[in-house]
């Protein structure tokens, strides 16, 4: 029971309290790039969730099964990025085959998931926090992905409405989006201290 509790707390913590986008600034490029429309935001969130779960779990395995026993931590970054690139390639092929419309609307952003800081960032954070068992690593990765989806969907919802608002000319586009994101982090700060 204790185990389950710890996992659940970790899940909630990474999803809302330590949300990667809003408190750790990871994945901002994507967050600003595809949050213009709700359906695209959600599709991208789903793709990132899949990749991050896969990558987080795999990199934990590689780190603990191969790199640490043989003292190869120097290779960490290189091997992490390889795993991520492989996972993204997989998703890209899948989306191109089954969701052609979505594939076209993503354009360049889909291969760019490889260079999405959220994914590598999470792998590094798992490493940094010394997560020492596989279920916890997997749950944390999934939570991080869902947290990203949550943030990008909220953002997309706000931006869809923002289009009707009368924004001063110099604030149009990126500046107002950043300021909105800032206010969103303020809202998410309300969750701080809930667990851990």
Partner 1 sequence: MAGLWGENPVLRLLLGMCPTLAVTAAVKPALTMGISVIFVLVCANIVVSLMRNLLKSHLRILMFTLTIATFVTMADLFLKAYLPAMSETLGPYIPLIIVNCIIICRAEACASKNGLFISVVDAVGMGLGFTLTLCMLAGVRELLATGMFAGHAIMPKAFVPWAAMGLPVGAFITLGLILALVNQITRKRS
| CB of 19 or CB of 57, closer to partner 1 | 19
21-60: contacts with partner 1 (CB under 8 A) = 22-29, 32
- The residue among 1 and 187 lying less far from partner 1, judged by its C-beta, is 187
Least Å distance between CB 195 and partner 1? 19
Question: Considering only residues 1, 4, 5, 128, which one is a binding residue for partner 1 as defined by CB under 8 A?
Answer: 128
Question: Least Å distance between CB 178 and partner 1?
Answer: 3
Binding residues for partner 1 restricted to 173-192, rule: CB under 8 A: 173-179, 181-183, 185-186, 189
Considering only residues 64-103, where is the footprint of partner 1 by CB under 8 A? 74, 76-78, 81-82, 85
Piece of 3-11, 19-27, 45-53, 95-103 that binds partner 1 (CB under 8 A): 19-27
Q: Which two three-digit tokens encode residue 49?
A: 């969730």
Contact 156, 37 (CB under 8 A): yes
Q: How far is CA 63 from the centre of its chain?
A: 20
Radius of gyration of the chain from its Cα atoms, rounded to whole angstroms: 17
Are 62 and 76 spatial neighbours (Cβ–Cβ below 8 Å)? no
Q: Contacts by 153-159 with C-beta closer than 8 Å and gap 24+?
A: 153/38, 153/41, 153/42, 153/45, 154/184, 155/31, 155/35, 155/41, 155/180, 155/181, 155/184, 156/35, 156/36, 156/37, 156/38, 156/40, 156/41, 156/42, 157/38, 158/184, 159/35, 159/36
Nearer to partner 1, 3 or 173 (CB): 173
Residues binding partner 1 (CB under 8 A): 22-29, 32, 74, 76-78, 81-82, 85, 111-112, 114-117, 119-121, 124-125, 128, 168-179, 181-183, 185-186, 189
């Amino acid at each position: 029971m204790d185990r389950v509790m710890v996992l659940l707390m970790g899940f909630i913590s990474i999803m809302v309290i330590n949300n990667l986008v809003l408190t750790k600034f990871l994945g901002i490029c994507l967050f600003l790039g595809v949050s213009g429309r709700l359906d695209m935001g959600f599709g991208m969130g789903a793709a990132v969730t899949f990749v991050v779960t896969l990558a987080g779990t795999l990199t934990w395995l590689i780190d603990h099964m191969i790199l640490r026993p043989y003292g190869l931590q120097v290779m960490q970054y290189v091997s992490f990025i390889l795993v991520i690139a492989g996972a993204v390639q997989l998703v890209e092929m899948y989306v191109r085959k089954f969701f052609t419309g979505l594939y076209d609307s993503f354009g360049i952003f889909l291969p760019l998931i490889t260079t999405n800081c959220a994914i590598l960032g999470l792998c590094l954070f798992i490493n940094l926090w010394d997560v020492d068992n596989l279920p916890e690593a997997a749950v944390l990765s999934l939570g991080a992905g869902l947290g990203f989806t949550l943030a990008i969907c909220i953002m997309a919802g706000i931006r869809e409405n923002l289009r009707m608002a009368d924004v001063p000319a110099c604030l149009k586009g990126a500046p107002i989006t950043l300021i909105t994101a800032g206010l969103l982090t303020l809202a998410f700060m309300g969750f701080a201290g809930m667990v851990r």
